[in-house]
C-alpha cells in the first residue's frame, strides 16, 4: 500500500486519502495551535499560495501528542487556522504521529532520515515531510521554517 492509499479522514471526519495529491508535490506537517512554532502556519500558507498553481500543496495533520498543544475540536482547529492565519491548505483529522496509535502515514514517513540522518519518531510539532511528484520523501526538522532556503530549494526541485 502506498502513502496515497492509506485511509485518513478530513478534519470534518469524512473518509479520504492522499490519492488526490498523487503526482503533485506535497508538504505534510503535523500542526498545533498552541505551540511556540504555531506562527509557522503563516509561512506554510505563503508556500501554499506561492506554489499551488504549480501542483503543490501543504497538508496539515493536527496532533496533540506534544505537551497537549492541539487540544481543540475539529471545528475549533478549523476556525483558529482560518481566522488567525487564513489557512486554505487542507487539514485532516487530528492524529497521533508517534506511539501505539500512530497513523500509518507517519509510520511510513518516519523511516525517512532528515539532513542530520535522524529517523524514527517525530520530534515535535511542525516536523515536515516533502513528498515529490515521484513519491520521494525528504524530511525536515520542526525548526526548519517554511521560509528556510533549504526547504524552498527542495520544494522547487520536487516540482520538476
To the query of whether residue 35 is one of the catalytic residues in this protein, the response is: yes
Q: What does the block give as the cell for 115? A: 539532513
User: pLDDT tens across 35-72, in order?
Assistant: 999 999 999 999 999 999 999 999 999 999 999 999 99
Domain hosting 137: range is: 3-158
Any residues with CB less than 8 A from the CB of 99 and at least 6 apart, and which?
Answer: 65
> In the numeric block, which cell numbers belong to residue 26?
506535497
* Percent over 90 (pLDDT), the chain: 98
CA dihedral (111, 71, 81, 5) positive or negative: positive
Q: In 10 A of CB 70, how many CB atoms? A: 23
The CATH number assigned to the domain holding 25 equals: 3.40.30.10
Selecting among 26, 31, 32, 35, the annotated active-site residue is: 35
pLDDT digits (tens, 9 = 90+) for 81-105: 999 999 999 999 999 999 999 999 9
In the chain, how many domains are there?
A: 1
Amino acid at each position: 500500500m502506498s502513502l496515497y492509499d492509506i485511509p485518513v479522514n478530513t478534519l470534518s471526519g469524512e473518509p479520504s486519502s492522499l490519492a488526490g495529491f498523487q503526482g503533485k508535490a506535497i508538504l505534510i506537517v503535523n500542526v498545533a495551535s498552541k505551540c511556540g512554532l504555531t506562527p509557522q502556519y503563516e509561512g506554510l500558507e505563503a508556500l501554499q499560495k506561492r506554489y499551488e498553481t504549480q501542483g503543490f500543496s501543504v497538508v496539515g495533520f493536527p496532533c496533540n501528542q506534544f505537551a497537549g498543544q492541539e487540544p481543540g475540536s475539529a471545528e475549533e482547529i478549523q476556525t483558529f487556522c482560518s481566522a488567525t492565519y487564513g489557512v486554505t491548505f487542507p487539514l485532516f483529522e487530528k492524529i497521533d504521529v508517534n506511539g501505539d496509535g500512530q497513523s500509518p502515514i507517519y509510520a511510513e514517513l518516519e523511516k525517512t532520515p532528515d539532513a542530520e540522518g535522524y529517523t524514527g519518531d517525530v520530534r515535535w510539532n511542525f516536523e515536515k515531510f516533502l513528498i515529490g511528484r515521484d513519491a520521494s520523501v525528504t524530511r525536515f526538522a520542526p525548526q526548519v521554517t517554511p521560509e528556510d532556503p533549504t526547504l524552498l530549494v527542495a520544494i522547487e526541485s520536487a516540482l520538476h
